Amino acid sequence: MSDHRFKHSRNVLQAKAIDLKEKGLGNKAMRSDPFTSEEIDILYHNRLLGKGTDTFRVNS
C-alpha cells in the first residue's frame, strides 16, 4: 500500500495502534494466562466444566 491516496488512512491506523499499545491493549505481552490444573479442577468440581445439566451448557 504505497499509494499516496491511502497515506492519511495509514497514518491514522498507525497512530491508533501506538495509542492502544501504550494502554496495554492489542499487545501480545498482555495476553491472559492459561488456567492452571488446580483452576480446571475447581471448574469441574463446581460443575462449570464437564458433563452437567443443560443449564450449565447454555450459560457457559
Give the domain ranges of the chain: 4-59
Decide if pLDDT at 1 tops 60: no
Per-residue pLDDT band at 53 (split at 50, 70, 90): low
Give the chain as a 3 state SS string: CCCHHHHHHHHHHHHHHHHHHHCCCCCHHHCCCCCCHHHHHHHHHCCCCCCCCHHHHHHC
- Of the two residues 27 and 35, the one the predictor is more confident about is 35
Decide if pLDDT at 51 tops 80: no
Phi, psi of 6 (to 5 degrees): -100, 5
> Rounded to an integer, what distance in angstroms lies between the CA atom of residue 5 and that of residue 25?
29
**pLDDT, average across residues 4-26:** 89
Per-residue pLDDT band at 58 (split at 50, 70, 90): low
Q: pTM score, two decimals?
A: 0.41
